[in-house]
A and B are shown apart, each in its own frame.
Chain A
Amino acid sequence: MNQIVEKEFFSENVVKLVVEAPLIAKARKPGNFVILRVSENGERIPLTIAAADETKGTITIIAQKVGVSTEKLAQLEVGDALIDLVGPLGKETDIHNVGTVLACGGGVGVAPLLPIVEGFKKAGNRVISVLAARSKDLIILEDEIRKWSDEVIIMTDDGSHGKKGLVTQGAEEVILREKVNECIVIGPAIMMKFTSLLTKKYNIPTQASLNSMMVDGTGMCGACRVTVGGKTKFTCVDGPEFDAHQIDFDEMMMRLGGYKTEEKIDFEQFMNRS
């Protein structure tokens, strides 16, 4: 049984859950994710493993409410159990000692970024993290990221925390200031697209972690396909991280919108019911 042992809201729409999953806690690596179902009629949704405690046998997931499933997930309380949880899925992040790593996280993308930042730091890199969100209360995991970063730059659209501006401004400031050997970016597709364009300009190898739509998460359906370097790849088994400079972000954004109408209707029905 995958019981919830801890729950905390980071903001109105972002919730952290610590869930019992001893085998996954033991096997997981940075970059891995799980697929879960909240209830009997639930869909299978992918969420990154933000942290794990092998001795307690738990994993931490952080979810942003965007639709029916994440809404239902956020309604679960400590003591409730997920009906299904499978993982760890996806390739692990290629973590190595390269020198200076620039880690950019946008919104809830900071959750999957956390284990990667930790990994790079432990591998002996200088890690500079740039966290960005619309406003102060949407910046999550700042303390945890600080723990594994040499420097943290906060960017908010409205200037309510850190500096006013976009993630790309924070990132460019670092790039102009010092040599960056590698960059990793996780966040909304549009944010990853522009960060990737920026690092391409400066020739900095960049990894982006994609959040395509998924069904099974085991390479069986192709719902998660993306174009990388002109070739079709399955995010769940070939990714979720890819060479950002090769990713067709426009296609990816188009595909993320593939169920928009249906999702909206579904969400409205759900909110009317509950």
Chain B
Amino acid sequence: MTIQSEYLKERRDQEWRAELRNKLKGKERTNLPRVHMPEESPEERVKHQNLEVNTGLSKEQALVEASRCMDCANPTCIEGCPVQINIPEFIKNIEREEFALAAKTLKQTNALPAVCGRVCPQEKQCESKCFYLTKLKKEPVAIGYLERFAADWEQNSGIMDIPECAPKNGKKVATVGSGPSSLSFAGDMIKLGYEVTVFEALHEIGGVLKYGIPEFRLPNKKVDIELDVLKKMGVKFETNFIVGRTASFDQLKEEGYEGFFVGSGAGLPRFMNIPGENNNGILSSNEYLTRVNLMGANNDKNDTLVLKGKNVAVIGGGNTAMDSVRTAKRLGAERAIIVYRRSRVEMPARVEEVKHADEEGIEFMNLANPLEYFADEAGRVNKMRVQMMELGEPDSSGRRRPVPIEGSETDIDVDLVIVAVGVSPNPLIPACLPDLTVSRWGTIEVNDNMQSSIPVLFAGGDIVRGGATVILAMGDGRNAAKSMHEYLMTINK
């Protein structure tokens, strides 16, 4: 037995859990239908950029859903979670109405449960490995909704559990960036007794959580409450600070920083390099979402502007594309269209986001790819030419490759186009560290311990993975914290 499974068994053998398991028969549990997340109506929500779509489970709903969980002897769900949350333990704590303990269980391995409960692609992670789905062919336990319930309960209780920190060990470490990978690294290192400073280039902390993911999916307040916990634990935050520019790594070393975690993200937007793409009214999803989410351009009281469109096309099928197209709808678009070169099943976006987009009247133009853009005399885009595609053989990603259909070009009227076809790693850090080994895609190369070719420099999140998920980034941050701690302890012996 591994340490992990021994630990899980020990926890499962606690008296209260055994008692709870015997409270209901298996059939009584498995016959319960999966809970539905209450949500704002599509008509209402498209009127507000900042109105969260999912309103959260009621206590009654959460209790019933929690009782569905079988508290399996072999909880396969945990294998699907990149940070290995003790899922049955937190769910059973909900079932016995110990919500604070449920939240505490989450926070043992996940510094941002209120975030992950909302944005994890659960259908591909924890829930995809749930006994209900794999063995009973039924809908899995709503692990994500329950996670959100417990985290929100704690946030709303006004009493946030501030994890204990070891006595200060007199060592200073820094993170580059303040996205989820850096935040989870910071949380773990401060617990271990380090002095931690988070350096962020932008004027807000949170990385994509703030500038990318819109408030209708992840309210900023939810992120801020978690940040406040980190602040209370003693993490220092420096905004408007670009490591490598405002000060070099060497300068920071002179100031006493002994270890660095680079979580600088995949900030560089990709374009398709097709004719007319630099016309006005064609922007990257990063620009569009940053203007709205970070700069508040949807609100007149803010100076930042954002172009509005009647006919908006968003190119791509990921979360970023969904966030952009739904934002366009909320900012008044009459037609908001997803143009995606594969079919709906291949879309990388979270299933729930696609469903929500559909309900909100987003049009899906699948199996279509833009070829060229046209503009009016002022240079503003007014038309795009798309080519229809069909699906061929699977490619290296295992998804069927889109193949253009000859002679299938059509023109559609558009006055705003948002390009959401992916991002490349942020080149700022590799550019200022010639000794750093990067892959040919520009991602920082690290070993299993997240350590780069520069021993005091660890890295994780999108700068290593080239675009992944919040929870994978956080897993990297934790991993790096553990390894850096071991490393700094050995070299200082």
* Chain A residues engaging chain B, CB cutoff 8 angstroms: 23-24, 27, 37, 41-44, 68-69, 72, 83-89, 215-216, 218-223, 225-227, 232, 237, 251, 254-255, 257-259, 262-263, 266, 269
Selected interface stretch from B228-236, B299-307, B311-319: B299-307
Q: Which residues of chain B in 217-250 are interfacial with respect to chain A, using CB atoms and an 8 Å cutoff? A: 239-242, 245-248
26 CB-based A-B contacts, threshold 8 Å: A23-B247, A42-B303, A43-B295, A84-B239, A84-B240, A86-B241, A87-B242, A87-B245, A215-B290, A215-B291, A215-B295, A216-B201, A216-B290, A218-B242, A218-B267, A218-B426, A219-B427, A220-B211, A220-B426, A221-B269, A222-B287, A223-B283, A257-B378, A258-B307, A259-B307, A266-B303
A100–chain B nearest beta-carbon distance, Å? 32
Selected interface stretch from B42-50, B273-281, B362-370, B407-415: B273-281
**Residues in A whose Cβ lies below 8 Å from that of B281:** 258
CB-based nearest B residue for A253: B379
Across the interface, B287 reaches (CB within 8 A) one of A27, A223, A251, namely A223
CB–CB A251/B201 < 8 A: no
**Residues in A whose Cβ lies below 8 Å from that of B286:** 220-222
B284 at the interface (CB under 8 A from A): yes
B23 at the interface (CB under 8 A from A): no
Name the 10 nearest CB pairs between A and B, nearest first. A254-B379, A258-B280, A221-B287, A220-B267, A86-B240, A43-B304, A222-B284, A43-B303, A84-B203, A262-B305
CB-based nearest A residue for B287: A221
CB–CB B378/A219 < 8 A: no
**Residues in B whose Cβ lies below 8 Å from that of A222:** 269, 271, 283-284, 286-287
**Residues in B whose Cβ lies below 8 Å from that of A84:** 203, 239-240
Separation of A218 and B425 alpha carbons in the complex (Å): 12
CB–CB B379/A220 < 8 A: no
**Residues in B whose Cβ lies below 8 Å from that of A251:** 278
- Known interface pairs A227-B278, A232-B277; 14 further A-B residue pairs with C-beta atoms within 8 A, sorted by A's residue number: A23-B246, A41-B302, A43-B303, A89-B242, A219-B268, A219-B427, A220-B267, A221-B287, A223-B283, A254-B378, A255-B280, A258-B280, A259-B305, A262-B305
Across the interface, A27 reaches (CB within 8 A) one of B245, B278, B290, B304, namely B245
A210–chain B nearest beta-carbon distance, Å? 13
A101–chain B nearest beta-carbon distance, Å? 27
Size band of the interface chain B makes with A: 35 or more
CB-based nearest A residue for B380: A258
A39–chain B nearest beta-carbon distance, Å? 8
Please judge, given known A-B contacts A220-B286, A221-B287, whether A41 and B240 are in contact too, CB under 8 Å: no
B202 at the interface (CB under 8 A from A): yes
**Residues in A whose Cβ lies below 8 Å from that of B468:** none
B296 at the interface (CB under 8 A from A): yes
Separation of A46 and B59 alpha carbons in the complex (Å): 49
Separation of A88 and B244 alpha carbons in the complex (Å): 10
CB–CB A89/B245 < 8 A: yes
B379–chain A nearest beta-carbon distance, Å? 4
B428 at the interface (CB under 8 A from A): yes
**Residues in A whose Cβ lies below 8 Å from that of B284:** 221-222
Separation of A44 and B303 alpha carbons in the complex (Å): 9
B275–chain A nearest beta-carbon distance, Å? 11
Please judge, given known A-B contacts A41-B301, A220-B269, whether A86 and B283 are in contact too, CB under 8 Å: no
Max chain B Cβ within 10 angstroms of own Cβ: one of A88, A89, A223: A223
Please judge, given known A-B contacts A27-B246, A215-B291, whether A69 and B303 are in contact too, CB under 8 Å: yes
**Residues in A whose Cβ lies below 8 Å from that of B378:** 254, 257
CB–CB A86/B290 < 8 A: no
Separation of A221 and B291 alpha carbons in the complex (Å): 9
Across the interface, B280 reaches (CB within 8 A) one of A37, A41, A226, A257, namely A257
Please judge, given known A-B contacts A24-B246, A84-B203, A219-B268, whether A225 and B295 are in contact too, CB under 8 Å: no
**Residues in A whose Cβ lies below 8 Å from that of B239:** 84
Separation of A83 and B248 alpha carbons in the complex (Å): 23
A165–chain B nearest beta-carbon distance, Å? 30
Separation of A73 and B280 alpha carbons in the complex (Å): 27
B376–chain A nearest beta-carbon distance, Å? 11
Separation of A216 and B265 alpha carbons in the complex (Å): 14
**Residues in B whose Cβ lies below 8 Å from that of A89:** 242, 245
CB–CB A255/B379 < 8 A: yes
Separation of A215 and B285 alpha carbons in the complex (Å): 13
Separation of A2 and B202 alpha carbons in the complex (Å): 16
Please judge, given known A-B contacts A86-B242, A258-B379, A266-B305, whether A220 and B291 are in contact too, CB under 8 Å: no
